Amino acid sequence: MSTSNDAPGGAATEQANVQTVIEARIDPDENTEDRTSDIGSEISSNSSVSSSVYEFRIENGRRYQTYREGSESRSLSCFHLQTDVYNQEYHYPIDERESERLGEAPYLPILTHLCSSRLKFNVPSDLQHWLCLGSFRNKLGLAPPNDEGSSVKRVLDLGTGTGLWAIEFGDEHPEAEVIGVDIVPPQSVGSVPPNVLFEIDDIDETWTYSQPFDYIHSRMMTSSISDWKKYLQKCFDHLEPNGYLELQEADLFPQSDDGTLKPDAAIIQSCENVQKACTIFGRPFASIPDLATIMTEVGFEDVVLTKNKWPMNSWPKDQHYKTLGAWSLENYLQGIEGWTMPAFTKGLGWTKDQVQVFLIDVRNEMKDRTIHAYWPVYSIYGRKPVPAPDGTKSQYEN
């Protein structure tokens, strides 16, 4: 856990064969007459999935995904069901409230503040997606395949979620075949380019891809992976030589650079409890900077780690970060009950009422503009080198 961090920002450093770039310190808005923040005050399918794929369970008033052993592989429009046996539960809700946060919320009017050039076709307004675009200055990623004029052949989007990243990358790269994969179908899909395919699969299981990829993109998977070294090795083994892997991850714990986020804050306590529960589930949140080191251990070269910041609310003075903070607040306010309820009740034995009472303090802190907190969000990418002359393969290669 960390509540304060960072040397003066914007500088690149070298550590353990990883180039590190840290975003500059964010100055707070000194006008705090109104301590609380909300998004409203700051910012004036072609494809169908067979209903047989969906099976839901109701828990604490929310809907979650569950799976049945013996499910048959089948093709579903632009979706393809890869896995024959599902044996893991997905611990996050996929009901209407979560769809509003990830894929169906009416936020298009505010997107012009950060990403106006991308509002060109009918796609869901995934808040996390737009937060990443805002952090990466309207780019889908920082790895070289996202550079202007780049050309790729095969792209894999791991943990595709709403599918918006895969859709946009496929739209920008008509020469590429783009595959988006997740353990549940995309919750909301608009127009899908013909070069984009979605697959339903558990990426923690054996991968069956017969051809390698030029670019693998993995976003917000930190509590979904049981063994990160094995996961990153699979990514390495399924890349072409000189292909790139990019991870985009947010830290579980918020930080502050001026000490206004206290170690005993309710939001810190909630993160500690979520980590305890996820550890019990066997999928703890990873230390994101450590993933860069693991990438070098499995063989990636030219690894670059860039640390950006999602302000907890609209406390920053700079309008870009103020807007980003308003989005971040809305994202977390919409999602926090769905994230914490299964963790606290199933993992820690809390009652539903205990969770809801506790979250009152968490929400109040999240809206408090005198707390200058932010979530660290990272892009980590690396290149697979040309193989050794003797053709040695790793233990994970097919």
Q: Which of residues 284 and 84 earns the better pLDDT score?
A: 284
CA distance 368 to 363: 9
CA distance 44 to 65: 36
Tell me the pLDDT band of 161, cut-offs 50, 70 and 90: confident
Looking at residue 187, its pLDDT comes to: 64
Looking at residue 17, its pLDDT comes to: 84
DSSP 116: G
Looking at residue 45, its pLDDT comes to: 28
Sign, Cα dihedral of 211, 213, 217, 222:
positive
**Per-residue pLDDT for 318 more than 80?**
yes
Average pLDDT over residues 291-311: 97
Q: Which of residues 92 and 2 earns the better pLDDT score?
A: 92
The whole-model pTM stands at 0.78
* Residues counted in the chain: 398
Looking at residue 340, its pLDDT comes to: 92
Segment among 25-29, 235-239, 261-265 with least mean pLDDT: 25-29
Average pLDDT over residues 282-293: 93
Which residue intervals of the chain are DSSP H helices?
A: 39-42, 96-99, 112-115, 127-135, 164-172, 228-237, 266-280, 288-298, 319-342, 348, 352-366
Q: Which residues are registered as beta bridge partners of 158?
A: 181, 218
Q: What is the pLDDT of residues 91-109, one digit of tens each?
A: 555 455 544 444 444 333 3
Angle at 203 between CA 78 and CA 138, to 5 degrees: 70
- Backbone torsions φ then ψ of 151, nearest 5 degrees: -135, 130
Looking at residue 15, its pLDDT comes to: 55
Which residue do the tokens 């975003």 mark?
Answer: 23
The ranges assigned to domains in the chain are 12-383
CA distance 388 to 398: 17
- Interaxial angle between packed helices 266-280 and 352-366, expressed in degrees from 0 to 180 and rounded to the nearest 10: 130
Looking at residue 304, its pLDDT comes to: 98
Segment among 39-53, 88-102, 260-274 with least mean pLDDT: 39-53
CA distance 99 to 20: 34
Please return the burial class of 217, using the count of CB atoms within 10 Å of its CB with bins 0-12, 13-18 and 19+: buried
Q: What is the pLDDT of residues 348-389, one digit of tens each?
A: 999 999 999 999 999 999 999 999 999 999 999 999 999 877
Tell me the pLDDT band of 296, cut-offs 50, 70 and 90: very high
Integer angstrom CA distances of residue 157 from 168, 211, 235: 11, 15, 11
Tell me the pLDDT band of 128, cut-offs 50, 70 and 90: confident
Fold for 12-383, please state it: Rossmann fold (3.40.50)
